Amino acid sequence: MAVSFYSIVVDARDLPSLARFWCAVLDWEVLFEADDEIVIGADKDALPGITFVPVPEAKEIKNRLHIDLAPDDQDAEVERIIALGARRTDVGQPGSATFVVLEDPEGNEFCVLSPKNSLID
């Protein structure tokens, strides 16, 4: 039996706004949109994607799962993503961290890493 990583599902209060933010961050597009679900991705055949589903409540605690982004230029990407609506946040990372922790407009934490060439470097 084979399995593949299909999608990350994100609870959201404002699906269209959060989907647009992540499309801008990742240079992806909205692939499907309904009142109860928005799916974004690089292309309809490029896995994985991100699916946004509605919830009535705001986020209250630190994420148990988060996205790591690996840019070519960490400083430039952090500034670009902040200009899109993200903000820096402190989740207890050390001052010597080689990653920057940001929150999307609904408070979901994600990291902008230093440039990477593999999953283990």
Q: What is the pLDDT of residues 24-44, one digit of tens each?
A: 999 999 999 999 999 999 999
Residue 13's identity, in one-letter code, is R
Helical ranges in 1-121 per DSSP H: 15-26, 74-84
Sorted by where each begins, the domain ranges of the chain are 1-56, 59-121
Reading the block at residue 23, the tokens are 């499309």
Residue 118's identity, in one-letter code, is S
Contact 59, 70 (CB under 8 A): no
Q: Do domains 1-56 and 59-121 have the same CATH topology?
A: yes
Which of the following CATH numbers is that of domain 59-121: 3.10.180.10, 3.40.1550.10, 1.10.110.30, 3.40.640.10?
A: 3.10.180.10
Reported pTM: 0.92
Q: Cα separations (Å) of 94 from 6, 70, 89, 91? A: 32, 19, 12, 9
Q: Which of 19, 25, 14 is nearest to 68 (CA)?
A: 25
Residue 116's identity, in one-letter code, is K
Residue 12's identity, in one-letter code, is A
pLDDT for 25: 98
Per the DSSP assignment, residues forming a β-bridge with 37 are 34
Q: Please tell me the class of the 1-56 domain.
A: alpha beta
Contact 115, 70 (CB under 8 A): yes
User: CA 40, CA 29: separation in Å to the nearest integer?
Assistant: 5
Q: What is the pLDDT of residues 64-112, one digit of tens each?
A: 899 999 999 999 999 999 999 999 999 989 889 999 999 999 999 999 9
pLDDT for 39: 98
